[in-house]
Amino acid sequence: MASTGARAAAAEVDIHADDESSVVGDLSVVTSSRRKLMNPVCNHIKMGMIGTTNVGKSTLFNAFSKQNNRKQETEDSLFCTIDSATSTVCVPDDKFEWLRSLWNPQQISRSMVSLVDTAGLVSGSYLENSGVGCASLESLKNVDVILHVIRAFDDPDVVHYSASIDPVRDLHTVNQEILLWDLDILERALVNVETIKYDKLGAEYLQFQYSTFIKAWQFIAGRIRPEPDGDKVRKPRPRYKRSRIPKVCTGSAVRFGKWERREREILTALNVSYPVENAHRITKATRIMSMPHLLFYCNL
């Protein structure tokens, strides 16, 4: 798929990486100690690919993983990738090899990069449950960088889901699906906190956590969140309602927001469980997907 002259056009987005951030202990946190919102310092970077279907994600994954012979199937049909796959390779570094031969240390630690391939997103993946893309976003919950692959090549042998090539439209489509996904995660988190507030009134931390989630929800949606349903006198327990999620987000990704340190800690540590469709009492955990670093790869 799209083996003709793919060129990388990567541009990292400003995400306010001036301050350090730590993980809050009393939340369900991401397990890795290096999983922070701002510029983790480590020798192993994990990247996750997103994009519409048939843009060349699996072809890029196969080129990346030649070192360890991992391969994803590539076909000229829509949604040929269903299950996510991960490949980890060493970063070639002549200076590292020279220093190793010079000092001959007992132990060495090479720089590693992991790449996660996921299913393609299409317009309506979240609201209409079409395609398999949104279900695969859970596999990106621990990545440091999101690699957004955009198709700009025109090949009649490689089907496009909308029958026309428009990189800007595809970019907005994927961004919209990610924002809707994040709203769903924040809505579930808000319902959880509203339930806790009903049982434990006056908790300062819960109030700040709640206000942070509200701020993030409204930043993404570009509108005020509707008030919870119910009689204030009886105070019924809140329930998650998908109807609260707008069909179109007019706001921005969380990475573009100006957050206080404590707010970043809460948003970074957020790890929400959600039910799996067509499964009985099974939940998976995920996090806000519009927070990690963002790179663009234009497939020409």
DSSP SS3 for 276: coil
Q: 165 in a domain, yes or no?
A: yes
Across all residues in the chain, what is the average pLDDT? 74
Which token pair is 98? 């020279």
Report how far residue 143's alpha carbon sits from residue 86's, in angstroms, rounded to the nearest whole number. Answer: 11
Domain that holds residue 288: 44-299
Q: 164 in a domain, yes or no?
A: yes
- Total-model pTM: 0.74
Which token pair is 68? 């360890």
Q: 67 in a domain, yes or no?
A: yes
Q: Is the model's pLDDT at 30 over the cut of 50? A: no
The C-alpha torsion from 265 through 206 and 217 to 238, rounded to 10°, is: 150
* Average pLDDT score over residue span 111-131: 78
**Higher-scoring residue by pLDDT: 273, 119:** 119
Report how far residue 251's alpha carbon sits from residue 236's, in angstroms, rounded to the nearest whole number. Answer: 30
Q: 187 in a domain, yes or no?
A: yes
Q: 219 in a domain, yes or no?
A: yes
- Burial letters for 55-75: b for 16+ Cβ neighbours within 10 Å, e otherwise? bbbbbbbbebbeeeebebebe
Q: Is the model's pLDDT at 259 over the cut of 90? A: yes
User: Phi, psi (5° rounding) for residue 47?
Assistant: -115, 145
How many domains is the chain built from?
Answer: 1
Dihedral sign (CA 163, 166, 168, 171): positive
Binned at pLDDT 50, 70 and 90, residue 76 comes out as low
